[in-house]
Amino acid sequence: MTAAPIAIRPTSTGDRPREGRRLDLDVVRGLAIVLALGWHFSGTPTGNRLVDALTWPGRQFGWAGVDLFFVLSGFLLGRLVLTEQSRTGRFDGRRFTARRLLKLWPVLYVFLAVQLVVGQEPWTTYLWQNALHLQNYAGTSLTHLWSLAVEEHFYLALAVLFPFFARRKGSPRLLAAILVAVLVAGLALRIWGAAHGISDTRLQWRTHFRVDSLAAGVLLALVCVHWPERFEALRSRRWLLVAVFSAGVAHLAAVGKEGPVGSTVGFTVAYLTAAALLLLVYRARWVPRARFVAAPVAMLGRYSYGIYIWHVFAAAVAVDLLPGVDAESTTAAAQVVKYAAAVTLGILATVAVEKPVLRLRDRLLPAKDHAVPPAAPAPVPIGPAQRHDVARAAA
């Protein structure tokens, strides 16, 4: 028997429940960064059975780690935006944008500054492109940063457009229809692009071809916030989710992201697989029970942004400093060196740059769940699974 939804009426800062980082969501982040590292570091088997088994997913379909990041990002930011709108009746797009920029820019711009000083690529091939978030259209020699532009473009669109939907009657259903249209349009645009000779790289990088992955995450957030019973019903269908995830992994491993199928349907399969994984992990009881496995993966997730920004540079520096190891080395030792360097420098960037700026951000622009709400806000109906989630701000 399903418990009746309850309503929370926040009255003061101390009355609203708060959570720290969530183990389950950090596990998803950790899996995404492991996939991304595997794609960039594990191109050829090493001959070491243990290393090759651990790096096989990244080697086969690690590019889909970006789609996992996209879906998770859309889900978390969508929940943040939709919960604020439901609780207060409005959405502060400028505040949202400022907080996201203070989250993303410091680590990125420090990285670009280091590249400018010690990097081997001409500054004209990456600096202005990445500084202005145009790298996925203008091109960049720092190729792994293309996905940041897609996210930034999506956040900007969300900040500008969402207030218009928030003021309309029946906006949840309208927003759901728009998000479904984005999913359909994304696939249709890729099919059109492939038919007209647009390269696989452009189909992968450019925002209008890839925004559907982020929209899928927001759609999950919309169902979670406004129709929690439906969200829980979907999440409870574990065997269906396992089937979708397994079929998706098989497709990604066999087809990849290139060619007429991979560069079109492949990205749709990638975000559907990512969504199934997210639903399987989100609030799952097995995650804390398997802490001996989940905790190390979650640790990587906590530092995933810094790791992603710095991992290619860190690996290149590490192999340059070690005698007898070169950038193209396929030995198990070289793989271990690359992963260790990427994680170490990513953690250092997070601790030295990201966290201090986030502390400053939270003093200057505290999250809405930390600020005093407007007088007598409307209660927010939430289902059983949301009772401990409603006040959580996105990391």
- Average pLDDT estimate for 235-241: 96
Helix and strand numbers, DSSP H then E, in the chain: 19, 2
- Average pLDDT estimate for 67-88: 92
Q: What digits encode the pLDDT tens for the residues 173-184? A: 989 999 999 999
User: Is 8 contained in some domain?
Assistant: no
User: Is 392 contained in some domain?
Assistant: no
- Average pLDDT estimate for 311-330: 80
B/e letters for 52-77, b = 16+ CB within 10 Å, e = fewer, are: bebbebbbbbbbbbbbbbbbbbbbbb
Q: Which two tokens stand for residue 156?
A: 């900007």
% of the chain beyond a pLDDT of 70: 85
Give the pairing of strands 380-382 and 6-8: antiparallel
User: Is 117 contained in some domain?
Assistant: yes
User: Is 224 contained in some domain?
Assistant: yes
User: Is 67 contained in some domain?
Assistant: yes
Q: Rounded distance, CA 299 to CA 203, Å?
A: 32
Q: What is the pLDDT of residue 123?
A: 96
Q: What is the pLDDT of residue 332?
A: 84
Say which DSSP state 7 is in: E
Q: How many domains does the chain have?
A: 1
Q: Average the pLDDT over each of 38-52, 79-93, 376-390 and give the range with the smallest value.
A: 376-390
Q: Is pLDDT of 384 > 70?
A: no
User: Is 12 contained in some domain?
Assistant: no
Phi-psi region of 385 (alpha: psi -120 to 50; beta: other; left: phi over 0): alpha
Q: Average the pLDDT over each of 42-51, 242-251, 263-272 and give the range with the smallest value.
A: 42-51
Name the strand (E) or helix (H) holding 255. helix 238-255
User: Is 201 contained in some domain?
Assistant: yes
Q: Which two tokens stand for residue 115?
A: 């590249």
User: Is 1 contained in some domain?
Assistant: no
Q: Is pLDDT of 370 > 70?
A: no
pLDDT band for position 88 (cuts 50, 70, 90): confident
The residue segments making up the domain with residue 146 are 23-386
B/e letters for 155-172, b = 16+ CB within 10 Å, e = fewer, are: beebbeebeeebeeeebb
